[in-house]
C-alpha cells in the first residue's frame, strides 16, 4: 500500500452570483481510498456533494455571491495498485467487453477516433496486440509532440494536436486515447494528481481496457503511473474538468501538490499498473 498526500488551493474573483461545479476531490475505487479529507470554502457557503455520471465521479456544487473566493482541498489517499507484467497482458475481444466499456470505443468531443482511425491502423494496426501496443502508442505521442504550456486552448482536439505536434498533458492524453480507440482498444481520460509533477498542476492521463481491466498510462512521461491519484474518468477532458461555472468569475491563483507520505512504491515505469 502507498500513501500519497494531495491538495490544491484555488482562488477566484467572483463578480456576480455564480454556480461552480468542482471536480477536485480524489475518487474512490476498490484500489484507491480517501482519508483525512478536508474541503474548505472561504467565505463559507453551502456545499452539495454528489456523484455524477456512469462512473460516479465526485462533484461539489456551490452557489457564490460576489466575493474573493478561496477553496482549499487536501486528503491522504491510500493506493493498493495491482501490478502486472506487461508481457502477460493481452487485448479484450469486443464481443467480451462489459457493456459499460463499449462507450470508450467511440469518438468524443476532443478524441476524434473516427477521423484518426486510418492513421492509427497504418501506424499501429500490425503491432503485437496487448499492453505493448498501447505503450507503443504512448511512446509515439511522447516522441512526436512537444510539451509546450499555453500552446493549446479549450477547443483544441486530438486532430489539431496531431497536426500542430505540440500541447499539454490533456492533449497528449487525447491523442493517445484517440489512437487507441481507432484500432479498437477502449480508452478513457483520467483527471487527477501526480507526485513530483513539474510544473505542479492537476494532471491529465489515460487508461486503456486490456484483459478485462483498466490500466494506467501517462503519454507525457511527466509522472510515474505509481504516483497517480485519480479524481475522475470520462470520454475526454470535457467530462472531468476541475472547475466549470455559470456566472462571472476569474481564476486568479491555483496551487496543486502531491507527495508520497510513506511506503514508496516498488514497481517501475515499465510495470502495468491498475487502480480502477
pLDDT at 90 over 80: yes
Same-domain pairing of 39 and 59: yes
Same-domain pairing of 74 and 37: yes
Tell me if 269 is assigned to some domain.
Answer: no
Same-domain pairing of 67 and 160: no
Same-domain pairing of 91 and 182: yes
pLDDT score recorded for residue 1 = 86
pLDDT score recorded for residue 159 = 98
Tell me if 271 is assigned to some domain.
Answer: no
Same-domain pairing of 101 and 214: yes
Taking the C-alpha atoms of residue 240 and residue 207, their distance in angstroms, rounded to an integer, is 14
Tell me if 276 is assigned to some domain.
Answer: no
Taking the C-alpha atoms of residue 22 and residue 16, their distance in angstroms, rounded to an integer, is 18
pLDDT at 265 over 70: no
Same-domain pairing of 108 and 178: yes
Same-domain pairing of 200 and 254: no
pLDDT score recorded for residue 131 = 97
Taking the C-alpha atoms of residue 113 and residue 146, their distance in angstroms, rounded to an integer, is 21
pLDDT at 264 over 70: no
pLDDT at 54 over 90: no
Tell me if 90 is assigned to some domain.
Answer: yes
Same-domain pairing of 232 and 104: yes
The answer to whether 259 touches 5, Cβ cutoff 8 Å, is yes
Q: What residue spans of the chain are helical by DSSP H?
A: 99-102, 113-124, 131-144, 158-164, 169-182
pLDDT score recorded for residue 124 = 98
Q: Average per-residue pLDDT in the chain?
A: 96
pTM over 0.85: yes
* CA neighbor of 158 nearest in space, from 202, 114, 102, 215: 114
The answer to whether 104 touches 206, Cβ cutoff 8 Å, is no
Average the pLDDT over 45-51 and give the result: 97
Same-domain pairing of 93 and 227: yes
Question: Which CATH number is 13's domain given?
Answer: 2.60.40.2250
The boundaries of the domain holding residue 172 are 86-236
Tell me if 166 is assigned to some domain.
Answer: yes
pLDDT score recorded for residue 270 = 73
Give me 265's grid cell.
Answer: 512504491
Tell me if 218 is assigned to some domain.
Answer: yes
Rounded to 10 deg, the angle between the 113-124 and 131-144 helix axes is 100
Same-domain pairing of 255 and 190: no
In the chain, the percentage of residues whose pLDDT exceeds 90 is: 95
43: exposed, middle or buried (C-beta count within 10 Å: 0-12, 13-18, 19+)? exposed
Tell me if 272 is assigned to some domain.
Answer: no
User: For residue 128, how many C-alpha atoms fall within 13 Å in the half-sphere facing its CB?
Assistant: 9
Question: Which CATH number is 229's domain given?
Answer: 3.10.620.30
Average the pLDDT over 261-274 and give the result: 73
Look at the chain and report how many structural domains it folds into: 2
Same-domain pairing of 99 and 200: yes
Same-domain pairing of 61 and 94: no
Tell me if 268 is assigned to some domain.
Answer: no
pLDDT score recorded for residue 271 = 87
Backbone angle region of 111, left / alpha / beta, with phi > 0 → left and psi within -120 to 50 → alpha: beta
Amino acid at each position: 500500500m502507498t500513501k500519497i498526500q494531495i491538495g490544491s488551493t484555488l482562488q477566484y474573483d467572483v463578480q456576480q452570483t455564480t454556480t461552480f461545479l468542482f471536480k477536485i476531490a480524489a475518487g474512490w475505487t476498490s484500489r484507491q481510498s480517501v482519508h483525512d479529507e478536508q474541503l474548505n470554502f472561504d467565505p463559507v457557503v453551502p456545499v452539495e456533494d454528489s456523484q455524477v455520471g456512469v462512473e460516479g465521479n465526485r462533484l461539489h456544487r456551490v452557489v457564490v455571491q460576489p466575493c474573493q473566493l478561496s477553496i482549499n482541498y487536501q486528503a491522504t489517499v491510500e493506493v493498493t495498485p495491482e501490478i502486472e507484467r506487461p508481457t502477460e497482458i493481452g487485448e479484450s475481444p469486443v464481443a467480451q467487453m462489459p457493456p459499460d466499456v463499449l462507450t470508450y470505443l467511440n469518438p468524443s468531443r476532443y478524441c476524434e477516433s473516427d477521423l484518426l482511425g486510418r492513421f492509427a491502423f497504418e501506424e499501429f494496426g500490425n503491432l503485437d496486440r496487448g499492453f505493448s501496443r498501447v505503450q507503443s502508442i504512448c511512446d509515439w505521442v511522447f516522441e512526436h509532440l512537444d510539451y509546450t504550456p499555453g500552446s493549446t486552448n479549450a477547443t483544441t482536439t486530438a486532430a489539431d494536436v496531431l497536426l500542430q505536434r505540440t500541447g499539454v498533458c490533456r492533449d497528449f492524453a487525447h491523442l493517445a486515447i484517440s489512437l487507441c480507440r481507432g484500432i479498437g482498444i477502449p480508452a478513457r481520460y483520467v483527471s487527477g494528481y501526480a507526485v513530483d509533477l513539474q510544473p505542479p498542476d492537476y494532471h491529465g492521463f489515460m487508461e486503456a481496457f486490456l484483459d478485462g481491466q483498466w490500466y494506467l498510462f501517462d503519454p507525457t512521461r511527466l509522472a510515474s503511473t505509481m504516483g497517480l491519484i485519480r479524481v475522475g474518468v470520462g470520454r475526454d477532458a470535457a467530462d472531468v474538468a476541475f472547475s466549470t461555472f455559470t456566472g462571472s468569475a476569474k481564476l486568479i491563483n491555483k496551487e496543486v501538490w502531491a507527495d508520497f507520505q510513506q511506503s514508496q512504491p516498488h514497481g517501475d515505469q515499465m510495470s502495468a499498473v491498475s487502480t480502477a
